[in-house]
Amino acid sequence: MAYSRRLFIWYYPRFTRFEAKDFLLRAAQFMDGTCPLCVIDNTSVILAGGAGPDAVFAPEMAAFARALGFKFMAHRVNDPDRKARIERPFAWVEDNFLPGRSFSSFDDLNAQALKWCVEVANAKPKRSLGMAPEVAYVMEKPYLTSLSIVLPAVYEVFERVVDLYGFVSVDTNRYSTPERLVSKTVTVYKHYASIEIHYKRTLVASHPRLLGVRDARSTLPGHHTIPKRTPRQPSLQAQLLCGQSPCS
């Protein structure tokens, strides 16, 4: 935030408009409100074209911003005053949070990042403020736009045909479906943390989303059953040839 310098961090394995929406929603919830303007660094994830004063924002991103109570503003290219406010926090995170840490997963990384924001970044006094960001945030909070009771959901929808092995593919990873749906068309909802598969408007599978991996598989119990095989008995002719006659 421009006045209090309150910081929020969240990491993703990639950054598309889906991740941008998820981040903006998480940030708005962390700040418990939004500012009227969200200044961006002319990122193509949010822009449809142009830059600075001539920027054209992607309609879906502009609509998402309105749902959270703000609008985007792209700063002028190479504007040092605007750019510094955006770039300095990145440098601070890269030089202070990341060095010497290890992470077992993206969930672990983001849990540590959130803890660092609360206990270090927002608790440490800043010379430019004369106080900690968390203290300045208390004065800034009354001026924020309150969040709506109903917040916009962040998800993507795909139509997929279940392959011969009973899987559907999303972002190079494969998720199982019941075997009866092989060759059927299903609707897949991709959320940040889950993959939901629907068939004829009915939920048939819900998987934890695979993050930070490629060409991996998630198989739910009971989806791909292995039929039990009974021991095959030799035919009567084979038994006779082996000297195993039922009459002997």
What's the CA gap between 203 and 71, in Å, rounded? 35
Task: Write down the residue that tokens 């998630």 correspond to.
Answer: 218
Average pLDDT of the chain? 91
- With cut-offs at 50, 70 and 90, classify the pLDDT of residue 49: very high
Residue 176 has φ and ψ, to the nearest 5°, of -75, 155
Residue 4 inside a domain? The answer is no
Q: Of 217 and 88, which is predicted with more confidence?
A: 217
Looking at the fold, whether 41 and 116 belong to one and the same domain comes out as: yes
Which one has a higher pLDDT value, 191 or 128? 191
The residues, ordered by sequence, that sit 6+ positions from 177 with a Cβ below 8 Å of its Cβ are: 162, 166, 167, 168, 186, 197, 199, 204, 205, 223
Note whether 134 and 21 are same-domain residues.
Answer: yes
Taking residue 185's Cβ as centre, other Cβ atoms within 10 Å add up to 12
- pTM of the entire predicted model: 0.85
Mean pLDDT of 134-159: 94
Q: Which of 104, 197, 203, 209 is nearest to 158 (CA)?
A: 197
Q: Do 100 and 199 belong to one domain?
A: no
pLDDT at residue 198 tops 90 = yes
What does the pLDDT read at residue 29? 97
- What is the per-residue pLDDT across 84-119, written as a single tens digit (0 to 9) for each? 666 788 888 999 999 999 999 999 999 999 999 999
Compare 97 and 241 and report the one with higher pLDDT: 97
Task: Tell me, yes or no, whether 118 and 61 share the same domain.
Answer: yes
CATH of the domain at 100: 3.30.420
Range of 38's domain? 17-143
pLDDT at 227: 66
Q: What percent of the chain has pLDDT over 70?
A: 93
Q: Is residue 206 scored above 80 in pLDDT? A: yes
Residue 44 falls within a domain, yes or no?
Answer: yes
Backbone angles phi, psi at 225, to 5 degrees: -80, 145
Region 215-222: mean pLDDT is 94
Report the 10 Å Cβ neighbour count for 48: 13
Number of domains in the chain: 2
Same domain, 39 and 113: yes
Query: Is residue 223's pLDDT more than 80?
Result: yes
